[in-house]
Structure 1
Amino acid sequence: MEIKRIFLIGFMGSGKSTLGRRLKTELGWDFIDLDDYFEMRYQTTIKQFFAENGETAFREAERKMVSEVVHKEKTIIATGGGAPCYFDNMQVMNKHGLTIYIKLSVNTLANRLSSPKQVRPLVAGKSGDELIAYITEKLTEREPFYNQAKVIADGDMLGVDGFVRIIEASGQLIK
């Protein structure tokens, strides 16, 4: 399989953007954080867009973003945590690129999301058991979509080198 684009999927805080930026350097490809792409395109924050237009409008706009980026070559795309779970986004990403689910344990996600460096509106004010319950509930909803990825990678165990090896073993990267 010829790999023209890579989609990084997973729960918020799983490291999609961080890994995407590091893979950009390692592979020499472009990198798009779909959330940043959205905010640049719509000239507003996702939080503000949600507040003014609602989740349905956000998910429809996000779907348009997915449809746009599937035509970019030599590009690593970090999706929002919910993007694979709406419309046919997961099928579209699987059709047009290598999808990698960065899978982390609930406890690892909770530790990352409770960090003061993380500013996530959906988990603001949640801590301890409440945060773990929220992550567990959302993962239960989302994992059937995430698990459709071509590669499911243990984010707790792999470093960037491990992800590069997985990508190289998955097919031929276009030059």
Structure 2
Amino acid sequence: MAEYQQRTARRIIIIGYMGAGKTTVGKALAKELGIPFYDLDWYIESRMRKTVKQIFDEKGEEGFRRIERNMLHEVAEFENVVVSCGGGTPCFFDNMDYMNEKGDTLYLKATPEVLYGHLKMGKSVRPLLLNKTPEEVKTFIAEQMKHREPYYMKAKHVLDVNLMDDYKKIKISVEEARKLLNL
């Protein structure tokens, strides 16, 4: 860990679709490295003093994405951090190019079926999935992945997380991330 801290400032920026495990992997990686972890959505909620859902409701997706871009530019200036971004973050403005410029980007790649399973088990409110039936959610994920995958694939590193379904496998995914990032 000390070796990590002594090198030039690094930022590890984790991207992927909602439910891929960005927060789970990001927290575990940051803990192992002894550096701070920031979830961009949580950071936005803290700074705006509103939930992501409230921001979506008040400003719509376009308004939220502008705020998200500004907050991304704030956290991407922090040194020696792990940041997990919202699923749509890389797909708007110049965000993906900016993240690649500022740090080591890591795409957590999973199939739409795996993502659906993770989201079904999750407890957090996902504004883009509200009021959809299970079949509509599956279709929505598959359609969004077709659009988002080209952005995600611009990441410097790609980690397959299709089998990350228990704590042991999460630990393995974190180890794989460390190898990819040369940590």
In structure 2, the partner of 1:75 is 81
2:151 pairs, out of 142, 145, 156, with: 145
CA RMSD between the two structures:
2.0
Change (3 A) 1:3 1:138: farther
Change (3 A) 1:169 1:108: closer
Instruction: Write the letter of the residue equivalent to 2:151.
Output: F
SS of structure 2 residue aligned to 1:134: helix
Instruction: Write the letter of the residue equivalent to 1:163.
Output: V
1:112 pairs, out of 111, 115, 118, with: 118
Once the two structures are superposed, what CA deviation does each residue of 1:26-59 show, in whole Å capped at 9, x if it has no partner?
1111000000000010111111111112222211
User: Once the 2 structures are TM-superposed, how far is the Cα of residue 89 of structure 1 from its aligned partner?
Assistant: 0.6
In structure 2, the partner of 1:164 is 175
In structure 1, the partner of 2:3 is none
Aligned residues: percent identity?
41
User: Counterparts of 2:136 and 2:176 in 1: how far apart (Å)?
Assistant: 37
User: Counterparts of 1:116 and 1:66 in 2: how far apart (Å)?
Assistant: 24
Q: Contact (CA 8 Å) 2:96, 2:154: kept in 1 or not?
A: yes
Instruction: Write the letter of the residue equivalent to 1:59.
Output: R
SS of structure 1 residue aligned to 2:26: helix
2:23 pairs, out of 17, 23, 27, with: 17
- 1:1-175 matches, within 5 Å, as 4-115=10-121, 117-157=123-163, 159-171=170-182
Instruction: Write the letter of the residue equivalent to 1:38.
Output: I
Off by >6 Å, runs of 4+ in structure 1? none
User: Counterparts of 2:156 and 2:8 in 1: how far apart (Å)?
Assistant: 14
Once the two structures are superposed, what CA deviation does each residue of 1:59-114 show, in whole Å capped at 9, x if it has no partner?
11111111111111110000001001001110111011110000011111111112
Aligned length: 172
Change (3 A) 1:133 1:155: same
User: Counterparts of 1:101 and 1:169 in 2: how far apart (Å)?
Assistant: 11
Q: TM-score when scaled to structure 2? A: 0.85
Q: Contact (CA 8 Å) 1:6, 1:75: kept in 2 or not?
A: yes
Q: TM-score when scaled to structure 1? A: 0.89
* More displaced stretch, 141-150 vs 124-133: 124-133
In structure 1, the partner of 2:4 is none
Unaligned runs of 5+ in 2: 1-6, 165-169
Q: Contact (CA 8 Å) 2:110, 2:161: kept in 1 or not?
A: yes
User: Once the 2 structures are TM-superposed, how far is the Cα of residue 128 of structure 1 from its aligned partner?
Assistant: 3.5
SS of structure 1 residue aligned to 2:142: helix
User: Counterparts of 1:123 and 1:55 in 2: how far apart (Å)?
Assistant: 13
